Amino acid sequence: MAISGDYSSPVTVNGFVCRNCSDVDRAKRHIDPADPAAGPFGVNGSHKPGKAAKPANHFSAEARDAERLEALYRERRAAPVSPIAAAYAGALAPSGGSLVSRSA
């Protein structure tokens, strides 16, 4: 009869499935026993094909569309500026007169 080092049923440590005491030791250090080359918390990346992390895309579809962004920029630049915003930006006073009523 052969003596096996594996557990009769797998145990879970820190979310990793462990089959023997070596796997448990790795899992306690947050190293995936199924992919130990990835290092603690997977900082070295997966070395197994098919486990590569997909890059996260945090931008909306509108933000990824360069043409739409250019159109929004052009619309924003063409929009009339309020007299208050123009004063803060240091632009010339609008042709309608000054911003402050001198008769008050």
Domain spans in the chain, listed from the N-terminal domain onward: 1-48
Nearest Cα to 17, choosing from 39, 30, 32, 5? 32
pLDDT for 62? 67
Give yes or no for residue 1 having a pLDDT over 60.
no
The pTM assigned to this predicted structure is: 0.43
Give yes or no for residue 27 having a pLDDT over 90.
yes
pLDDT for 54? 58
pLDDT for 23? 93
Q: Which span out of 6-10, 19-23, 58-62, 99-103 was modeled with the highest average pLDDT?
A: 19-23
Residues 45, 50, 55, 57, CA torsion sign: negative
pLDDT for 2? 61
